[in-house]
Amino acid sequence: MCKTLILSDIHFCKRGSTVHSIEQLRPLWQGFDEVVFNGDTTELHCEKYTGLAKQANNRLKELTKEDGVQLTMICGNHDPTVSKIEHKWYWDDKILVFHGHAPIFGGAPWSWRYKHFAKSYEEQLQQSGNGFTEQLSAIRVASIQAASGEFSHHKPSHLHMLLLIAPAIFKILKCWKRYPTLVAMWTKQFAPSATYIITGHTHHAGIWERDGKVIINTGCFGFPSHPRAVVLDDDTLTVHTIKKRNGSYVLGGVCSSWNAR
C-alpha cells in the first residue's frame, strides 16, 4: 500500500510565503512513498518570479528523487504549466485530489482578471463540451492565459487597484463561506463517486461535510491560513496540522481521521 502525503499552496518564491527553501519541506515527506503538491507550489503567475520558481521546481524534483519518494505535481492557477496533471483519484475513485479552483466560476472572483478569466473559461467549455475533464482543462487554459499575461492589457491603474482592495476582501470572505457548498455541488455533477475531496486554492483551511461529501482544504503556507497536510495510509485518511520546528516543517497533531475504504 502506497503511503501518500498531500500538500498545497506553497507559493514558493512569492512574497508572503513562509517557505524560503525547498529543504524546509523535506522532513514532511520522510517515510512516504508519494508526495502530492496540489497546485500553486511555486509562482509561475508573475514574470519576476518565474526564474526562481523553475529553480525551486527542479530542486524539489532532486530532493524527492534522492529520498526515493514519488513526486506528483498537480497544476494550480498560479502554476498551470508545472505539469499536465489536473487531478488525481485514490481508493477506487472515492478520494479526489484537485487544486479546487474549477468549482468557483472565474477561478478567483476577487481578482481584477476575474471577468476575462471567466470569459475564456466559458469559451473553452463551449468548444469542448461540459464534463469533468473538460472543466479541468478549461480552467487550466484560462489559468495559462492569465499567467502568461494575456489579460495584462486590461489591468486597472494603480489608483483603481487600490479602490478594488475593499471589494476584493468582501469577495474573498464570501467565497470562504460558500466554497464547501460549491465544491460539493460541483463534484455531485462532475465527479459523483468522490466522497472525500481534497483541495487548496482559497487559502482557507478547513473540513466540512456537505450533502454526504467531506471537503478538505489544506490552507496555505502564509497569510491568512495555517497549512495542513493530508495523509493517505492503508485504509485511513488523516488531516494533520503542520508545525515549524528549527526552521523546517513537520507534521503536527491530527485534526480529523476517517476509515475511507
pLDDT of 30-82, one tens digit each? 999 999 999 999 887 666 777 788 888 999 999 999 999 999 999 999 999 99
What whole-number percentage of the chain has pLDDT above 90?
72
Domain 4-105+164-259 belongs to what architecture?
Answer: 4-Layer Sandwich (3.60)
The whole-angstrom separation of Cα 46 and Cα 48 is: 6
Query: What pLDDT is stored for residue 30 in this prediction?
Result: 97
pLDDT over threshold 70, residue 92 = yes
Tell me what the mean pLDDT of segment 176-204 comes to: 97
pLDDT, tens digit (0-9, with 9 covering 90-100), for 123-133: 999 999 999 99
Query: What pLDDT is stored for residue 107 in this prediction?
Result: 85
What does the domain layout of the chain look like in residue ranges? 4-105+164-259
- The answer to whether the bond into 224 is cis (omega within 30° of 0) is yes
Q: Given pLDDT bands bounded at 50, 70 and 90, which one contains residue 220?
A: very high
**SS3 of 229, please?**
strand
Question: What does the buried/exposed string (b/e) look like for 17-45 if buried means 16 or more CB atoms within 10 Å of the residue's CB?
Answer: bebeebebbbebbeebebbbbbbbbbbbb
